[in-house]
A and B are shown apart, each in its own frame.
Chain A
Amino acid sequence: MPQIFHRSTNTLSKLSIFGAVFILVVFVWVLMQINRSEYVTQANVVRVQPVQFSHEHHVNGLGIDCRYCHTTVEESSFAGIPPTKTCMNCHSQIWANSPYLEPVRESWRTGRAIQWTRVHNLADFVYFNHSIHVNKGIGCVTCHGRVDQMPLTWQQKSLQMEWCLECHRQPERFIRPREYVFSMDWQPPADQIALGQKLVREYNIPDVAFLTSCSTCHR
């Protein structure tokens, strides 16, 4: 019986086995990259808001502290979005006739809340708490980026589990002295790891086994 395939196809068939493995690996890699992409995580995507509220103007331009508006960030899991009254503290007089602020004034007149579009939204099966992070020396800027340079707010980090774990495994890389938590331009010193290890001890931060235990975040 004559051979159907020429001898050289042996190499080809061996190659194709390798090829199949390769294609599979690439396929999985592509899936992982898609899952990490901004299309899925919605990071760096600016949301349309009912009012063109600019952190850049209010935080950088006017020097207002985060806690003036996000009043519960130190005591509660939820940072808090300011009610219309907080805007009216200043905008009863400042830019009081500007069309930009009409939705704020309308909300003030009618008592109906302004409907902001959520920027960050963790899945409901994850437990997150601001107060513990803020009180243990994790700065807003570590998780939210340079909010003071955002004309409209966007999400800077992926908020995926790997991102949380990156820090929970090595908090000393990101921790800062408590008095700089709200500072937007604090730069880590050259010996950040040494400083970090000192602060981790000082602030009684639990060990990595606890911080990376599933039930810490999925409770």
Chain B
Amino acid sequence: MRNQKLKGQKSKIEIRFWKKILYGFSGPLKNRWLFTPFLLLFTFLTVGCRQDMAEQPRYDPLEASTFFADGQSARPLPPGTVARGYLREDTELYTGKSGKDFTNTFPFPVTRTVLERGQERYNIFCSPCHDRTGSGNGMIVRRGYTPPPSFHQDRLREAPVGYFFDVITNGFGAMPDYAAQIPPRDRWAIVAYIRALQLSQHATLEDVPAEERAKLSR
């Protein structure tokens, strides 16, 4: 009789069960035994569904775009734009010319660091065709590219440094330009290194410091 259930009325056991569940969420802190597992379950069921954090609504560098007609997210500069710090006032530094003629002086002092930088950049960008000594027999030439002239011929030994800068910047005949790949200061460093290469192929014993000469003649 005691546990008999009337229509529409919950049994005591049932009530105790629901009370316990409710208590598990809302009782004093140490009694909230259900809270943590429930939170865990909730988290597990709701995480990892969307990748919005991994693919945020911004472009990575060079990412394709469906918005612009040419499909590129990077926009070309409108003609005449000058970015901050890119106003090329120093014509000698950026064109290798003073007035109409090529300059024969470097726009900044050539130190050992500049020469080493030049050597590194020369080996990266020029040696595939001009080879590491500048004689013009690089790997790409051996695979069929037009052979460039040697840097050690008199015409190029006497050419002003501004001329080399101009060839790198604008190309020359079959030689492509490297303006996009090499920033102006590095171009000057390369020119300084080409000068060093030219010297190296025409050095005499007199160019060697006296105390080092003995080593060479051995």
Binding site for B on A (CB under 8 A): 62-65, 67-68, 71, 78, 80-81, 83, 85-86, 88-90, 92-94, 111-113, 115, 121, 123-125
Assess the B53–A125 pair: CB atoms within 8 A.
Answer: yes
14 A-B contacts, Cβ less than 8 Å apart?
A62-B143, A65-B124, A67-B124, A78-B61, A88-B176, A90-B145, A93-B145, A93-B146, A94-B140, A94-B143, A113-B70, A115-B64, A125-B53, A125-B56
* Total A-B Cβ pairs within 8 A: 59
| Contact A64:B128 (CB < 8 A) given known A88-B176, A94-B140, A124-B55 | yes
Asked if B80 is an interface residue, CB under 8 A from chain A, the answer is no
**Inter-chain contacts of A85 with B (CB < 8 A):** 176, 180
Q: What 5 A-B pairs have minimum CB-CB distances, sorted nearest first?
A: A123-B54, A89-B176, A124-B56, A65-B124, A78-B61
A67 vs B117: C-alpha distance in the bound complex, in angstroms? 14
Question: Which residues on the A side are within 8 Å of B123 (C-beta)?
Answer: 65
A80 → chain B closest CB, angstroms: 8
Chain B residues in the interface with A (C-beta under 8 A): 53-56, 58, 60-62, 64, 70-72, 123-125, 128, 139-140, 143-146, 174, 176, 180-181
Contacts of A63 in B (CB 8 A): 128, 139
* Residue contact B181 to A92, C-beta cutoff 8 Å: no
Report the Cα distance A67→B120, complex, angstroms. Answer: 11
Given A94-B143, A124-B56, the answer on whether A68 and B174 have CB atoms closer than 8 Å is: no
Contact B64 A68 (CB under 8 A): no
Set of chain A residues within 8 Å of B139, measured between Cβ atoms: 62-63
Residue of B nearest to A93 (CB): B145
- The smallest beta-carbon distance between B124 and chain A, in angstroms, is 4
Quick one: closest B residue to A64, CB to CB?
A: B128
B62–A81 CB distance below 8 A:
yes
Identify the closest chain B residue to A88 (Cβ): B176
Q: Which residue of the partner chain B has the closest CB to A66?
A: B124
Is the beta-carbon distance between B128 and A71 smaller than 8 angstroms?
A: no
Q: A65-B123, A68-B124, A94-B143 given. 4 additional CB < 8 A pairs? A: A93-B174, A112-B71, A115-B71, A123-B53
Q: Considering only CB atoms, which chain B residue lies closest to A122 in the complex?
A: B54
CB distance from B56 to the nearest CB of A (A): 4
Nearest residue in B to A79 (C-beta to C-beta)? B61
A78 to B73, CA, bound (A): 15
Question: A81 vs B61: C-alpha distance in the bound complex, in angstroms?
Answer: 10
C-alpha gap A3/B27 in the complex (Å): 40
| B176 contacts A94, C-beta separation under 8 Å | no
Contact yes or no, B140 A62, CB < 8 A:
yes
Alpha-carbon distance between A9 and B143 when the two chains are bound, in angstroms: 80
**Please, which residues of chain A bring their CB within 8 A of the CB of B143?**
62, 94
Partner of A71, one of B56, B62, B181: B181
Tell whether, in the assembled complex, residue A68 and residue B58 are in contact, meaning their CB atoms are under 8 Å apart: no
Q: Name the contact of B128 in the complex, choosing from A62, A121, A123, A125 (C-beta under 8 A).
A: A62
Cα A83 to Cα B176 with chains together (Å):
14
The answer to whether B54 and A124 touch across the interface, beta carbons within 8 angstroms, is yes
CA distance A86 to B180 in the complex (A): 9
> What residue in chain A is nearest B182 (Cβ atoms)?
A71
Q: How far is the CA of A38 from the CA of B77 in the complex (A)?
A: 41
- Residues from chain A with Cβ under 8 Å of B181 in the complex: 68, 71, 86
Contacts of B144 in A (CB 8 A): 93-94
CA A64 – CA B70 in complex, angstroms? 31
- Distance, CA A121 to CA B64, complexed state (A): 14
Residues of B within 8 A of A113 (CB): 70-72
Whose C-beta in chain A lies nearest to the C-beta of B52?
A124
- Complex Cα distance A115/B70, Å? 12
Q: How far is the CA of A156 from the CA of B145 in the complex (A)?
A: 34
A92-B128 in contact (CB<8A): no
For the complex, what is the distance from the CA of A61 to the CA of B53, rounded to whole Å?
A: 41
Q: Is the CB of A68 within 8 A of B128?
A: yes
Do residues A124 and B64 form an inter-chain contact, with CB atoms below 8 A? no
